[in-house]
Every structure is written in C-alpha cells, then in structure tokens.
Amino acid sequence: MNAFIVAVILGLATGSIYALAAMGLVLTYKTSGIFNFAQGAVAAAAAYLFYTLRQSDGIPWPIAALISVALIGVVGGLLLERMGYALREAPVASKVVATVGLLVGIPALLAAWYGSSSRPFDHFLPSHPVHLFVNVGTDQIIIFLLASASAVGLSLFFRRARLGIGMQAVVDDPDLLSLQARNPIVVRRWAWTIGTSFAAVSGILIAPTIGLDAPILTLLVVQAFGAAAIGSFTSIPRTYVGGLIVGVTTALSQLYLASHSGFQGVPPSMPFIILFVVLLVTPKRLLLEKGTRLARRLDFAPALNKRISVPTTLVGLGLLIALPQFVGFRLPLYMTGLLFVILFASLGLLVRTSGQVSLCHLAFAAVGASSFAHFESFGIPWPLAVLLAGLVTVPIGAILAIPAIRLPGIYLAIATFGFGILMQRFVFTNRVMFGSTDSLTAPRPHLGSFHLGTDTGYYYVILGITVACCVVVVLVQRSRLGRLLRALGDSPVALDAHGTNTNFVRLLVFAISAGLAGIAGALSGPVTGFTDGLTFDYSISLLLLAVLALSGRRALASAFIAGGLLQVVPGYITNATVSAYVPAFFGVAAVAVAVVPGIGFAKRFLVARRVRERRGASPVAERRALVRPEVVVAGAPLSGTGRAGGRNGDNRVAERVEMARLGAHQ
C-alpha cells in the first residue's frame, strides 16, 4: 500500500509539471491557432540556460530562474508571437512545419553548444521530507501547489479579467476584438509570453529529475500533449486535471508493469497511449481547429505540371547510372539517399498533394524493414519479400487513416506524432518486430550470375526500385485519384459536396504512402546487413517534414533534392562541429520557408503578381476594347464608325477584337 501511495505522490508531482507545460500550450493555441510542437524545446532551452547561470556562473537559483524565464519565456514568447502572426492565414501544413522546425532546430543547437552527453542537474528546491501518510519531499509539495495555483489563477483570469476574455476572442475575430478597444496584437503577445513562460518553468522544474539532456527534456515535456488532449486543447481546468492523470497513470504503470518483460515499454509510452486514445474517442465537436476562419491556402500543393522534360529526365537518370564510377567508398551514402527519395516521394503524396501532415512516416519504414527481415528468414525470394514488406505496411497506413478521417488538420498531426513515438517506445521493443536481440539480419539479393551482393550491384537494385516507386507516384498524381487528392487539399467540404467519398480518398492515400515507405524500409536493412529499431528514431520523421519543406514544390524533384540534402551532403562534411549544426540548419530553414510567405513584403509581392496576371486575362479589358474609340490591332486602327460605316464597321471591329483575343490566347 505504501508503494502505491508513493507512486501516486510521485505521479502528482510529475503530472503537475506536465500540467504547467500543457496549460501554456493550450493558452497559446487558444489565442493564436498555432499548436506549438516546440513547447518541449522551449522547456529544454530554459533548463540549459538555468544550468549555465546557476551551476556554471554561480548565480543564486532564484535570480537564475528569473533570468531564464525572462529570456526564454518573455523574449522567446514575443518572437514566437511574431512567427504566429506571420502564419495567421497560413494552412495547417505551414503551421506544423514552422513549429516542427523549431522542435528540430532548438535541441540540435543545444546539443551542438553543450555536447550530446547528459549532464547532472543539481536540485535547487528544498527536498527535506514531510510525513503525510508517507514521506513526501518538500519540492514535490511546492511543485504541486505551484501547478494548482497556476490552474486556478488562469481559470479566474480567463473568466474575470478583461485581457483574459480578450484572449479567448482574438484568434476567432481579431477585428471584432479591436472594435472593443483592445489591440489584438497586445493580447496575443501577452498570451505567448505567459504560455512560453509556463514551458520555461516546467523545463527548469523537471530537469533535476532526469539531468540535462536536450532530447530527453524535449520528449518529457512533449508528454504534456496528452494532458492538453484531455482538456480538448481549450479548457485550462481539464488540462490541469489531465496533467495529473498522465503523471499518476505513468507512475502506476511503472510500479506494476515495468517488471513484466512483455510490458516494459508501456510506462514510457503511457502519455502517448493516452494522447492517441483521447484523440480517437473525443467527440469531433470538441476538436474544433482554432484560427481556421482566417486560414487560406498558400499554394502548398502545386498545380500538376503535365509536361515532363524528357532530356532532363534522361540526363538525370544517366548521371545516377554512372554514379558508382565516381563516388568510390561513399557509394553506401548514395544508396541511403535513394531510399530517402522514396520516403520523401511518399510523404509528398500526403503533405504536398493532399494537404495532410504525417509525423510518423519513419514508423512505416520500420514496419517494412522488420517484415522484410522476417520474410527473408522464412526463405521467401528476395524480390517477393520486398514487395510483401510494402504490402504489410499498407494496413498500418489504413489504421492511421482512422484518425485522419475524423480529426481535422492540426489534430491529425498531433495524433501521428504520438503514434510515431508510441511505435518506437512500445512496438519496436517487442520481439515481434526485431526479435529478442533487437536486431535482425537483412541480406542482399542473389540472382544467379548477377553480382548484386556488392555495393555497386545493390546500388543498381535500389536505383531500379526507386525509379519504379517514382513512376508509381507520377501515375497516382496524374490519375483521377491525384486530382481528388489535390481537391482534398484545397477544400474537403467542397469535394464532399460533389459526391466524392473523402474518407475513402484519405484511406487510400495513407495506404499508398505507407506502402511506399515500407518498401524503402525493406531496402534499408541490406545496406548494412542488419536492421534494428534504433535506426528508425521518431525524430527523423520530424526531420523529414522539415527537409521536405525546403526542397522545392515539384513532387519528384523535391524528393531527390531532399534525399541529397538529408543524406548525401552531410556525408561529405568531415568537420565534427559543422556536422553538429546540420540538423539545426534544417530546422531553422524549415521555419523560414514556412514563415516567409506571411511576411509583409512577400505577401505584397504575391498579391501584386496575381493582380497583374488577372489583368492580363480580364474579360473587362475585352469589353472595354469594344467600346474604346481607338483600338490598334496589328498596326491597324479600329473604330466603331469606320469608312464602311454603320453595322459593317461594327462587325469588322468585333471581328478584329475577336482575332486579337484568339491570337493572344494562341
């Protein structure tokens, strides 16, 4: 019984930290429509700054905490508010790319500056025990009381304070709020400042428990997403209770399940299990996207270019065929690059074509890699094993399409994010995936006299399958399904109104995308000769989205560019310091790509260009030409009252205008 009470108390203390981070997340989402995936990265940055000020510079901890919250919470919040303002009219995909870019970039910068190894983080709150049925640390009591007071204070603030009431209205109708003598920009700044300050405090409070490690700190605060889901991403009191539920449930699962070999992955996965289940069972009417009234499409899905440059395609293919003669020992680097081309092409079907965001794409590849290794061990021929590995992944994509069917844009991104971490924490550690040794043998093909087991031979195998997958992507985009996917990205409601089953379209695109990712995963193992779960870290799925965002808008060209950027280019960087900054560069570049279209000068340029295009093909200009007293076409003056006079002159004018119009179109 004592063990149960101790676990509950520990869960309440940890859950209070989750509640603080989650309440800040809900606050910023309610006021800006931006779901800040980088909330954990903000917490990690505050913890590192606090560590530097207190343990390195010797500043007393209250002053160090105040400076850390001021710089990361206040200044960082103001910068994030500017980013959110630039994204206020952007589609969901752009908002996700921007915050995921921060989630990738900030921990990478911290690891580059402080090193990747974990550092001890000294306790700073008083921790002497107080006897309440069992011994409870003073620090645990302080954290619980701080979270409780914050929840009560925020709830009263939203109900009683004029600024709090304004925060609830700013995202839905800022113009109406400005008529009430409240500046929407000031309201948003206050909201982001408070929200990021909560994240900073949560990072400082949780660091003594786990030490100073950027990825772990980021991931632990990300567990607050489950608490926000319990609060339907809108209710502060329910979010606070959700944080306590997540903390207590995780602590109890650690107490009762960690000792069982088949359930060791459950305790660390519990927050993400809660997140995924809550998103699936919460009524759809409670999951309304904030800020969608202002959202518009920013050409995230490009129009289909039906023309394929045959010379360019042949030159590119020729270069890829001749590549093994020039790259030498770096050929495995290009093999992996081609595998990521398949991954990027399949992810592009979801993100760029249909406007849906997947943050668990590498989980599909892991399923394909594991299935291929098992099929090979059963004696199934190599080509058939690769094909079956892709087919096995299709049902996984179909399962993930279930939240895609019922959840609007941002919640689908959250669900796939939780699903990816859940797969890594729970499913990958299961013997069914990668065996009892967490590693499986993945052989290369042996086809008669063809030497495909060498690096050169296997490179050509990967190249052939990559070309085949690219052909599949092109055929999908040019088919009726491709047109439906682009229409789905533009307006699902309009597509549904035309009698199309949008649920089936979502199911189909997730299945195809997962199948292609599964093939890429199946091909990845033979590059090194084995496959394991460590290769398919959830963070790489975030990196995939960030790199895809900055690789251009053409479907296949962007896939090849992204594969080269992510795998080939870093392989040529021999300086360890520069290599450490590469992920940070991808994260920052993704933020820039997402934010720049919302900046004033870029938007004015786009608007001016569209105005010029519309003027050039305006029917108003043609009608003006009919009544204009003098219109020159091909050097001949046209007049409604020419020498022929009367109706014949009018007819000649109409004929010449029509000829000019046709000539312009030709």
Total Cβ atoms within 10 A of residue 659: 12
DSSP string, 534-602: GGG-HHHHHHHHHHHHTS-S-HHHHHHHHHIIIIIHHHT---HHHHHHHHHHHHHHHHHHHHGGGSHHH
Checking if the pLDDT of 301 tops 50, the result is no
Minimum mean pLDDT range among 46-50, 353-357, 470-474 = 353-357
Among residues 632, 232, 624, which one has the least CA distance to residue 414? Answer: 232
Question: Which two structure tokens, joined as six digits, stand for 607?
Answer: 């608007």
Instruction: State residue 649's pLDDT score.
Output: 45
Query: Where do the DSSP E strands lie in 110-226?
Result: 129-132, 134-137
Nearest to 400 by CA among 353, 345, 356: 356
pLDDT value for 215: 87
Examine the pLDDT at 321 and tell me if it is beyond 70.
yes
Helices (H), 378-440: 382-406, 409-422, 431-434
Pairwise CA distance, residues 60 & 362, whole Å:
44
Retrieve residue 28's tokens: 């910023």
Residue type, 141: I
Residue 636 backbone phi and psi in degrees, to 5:
-105, 125
Bridge partners (DSSP) listed for residue 130: 136
Token reading at 157: 């603030």
Structure tokens at 507: 């199911």
Residue that wins the pLDDT comparison between 620 and 442: 442
Q: Which residue has 């050039």 as its token pair?
A: 616
**Cβ(376)–Cβ(405) under 8 Å?**
no
State the pLDDT at residue 191.
86
| Whether pLDDT at 43 is above 90 | yes
Query: What totals of helices (H) and strands (E) does the chain contain, helices first?
Result: 31, 6
CB 590 within 8 A of CB 104: yes
Q: What single-letter amino acid sits at 446?
A: H
Query: Residue 400, exposed/middle/buried by CB under 10 A (0-12, 13-18, 19+)?
Result: buried
Give phi and psi for 175, each to the nearest 5.
Answer: -65, -40
Question: What average pLDDT does the segment 246-274 reach?
Answer: 84
Whether 383 shows a pLDDT value over 50: the answer reads yes
Give pLDDT, residue 414: 87
pLDDT value of position 554? 78
Q: How many CB atoms lie within 10 A of CB 304?
A: 13
Taking only the tens place, the pLDDT of each residue in 105-161 is 999 999 989 888 888 888 888 888 887 777 788 888 899 999 999 999 888 888 877
- Which residue has better confidence, 431 or 103? 103
**Does the pLDDT value for residue 297 go beyond 60?**
no
**Per-residue pLDDT averaged across 331-351, rounded?**
92
- Between 489 and 560, residue with greater pLDDT: 560
618, pLDDT greater than 80? no
Percent above pLDDT 70 for the chain:
83
Each residue's pLDDT tens digit, 364-382? 999 999 999 999 989 899 9
Residue 172 has pLDDT above 60, yes or no: no
Residue 612, pLDDT > 60, answer no
Contact 86, 599 (CB under 8 A): yes
- The rounded distance, in Å, linking the Cα atoms of 370 and 390 is 11
Mean model confidence pLDDT for the chain: 81
At residue 65, the pLDDT reads: 94
CA within 13 Å, CB half, 439: 9
pLDDT of residue 307: 59
- Diameter over CA atoms, the chain: 110
**Structure confidence at residue 619 (pLDDT):** 53
What the chain holds in terms of domains, given with CATH numbers, is 2-115+139-286 (1.10.3470), 315-571 (no CATH), 617-665 (no CATH)
Among candidate residues 637, 593, 605, 483, the one with its CA nearest the CA of residue 105: 593
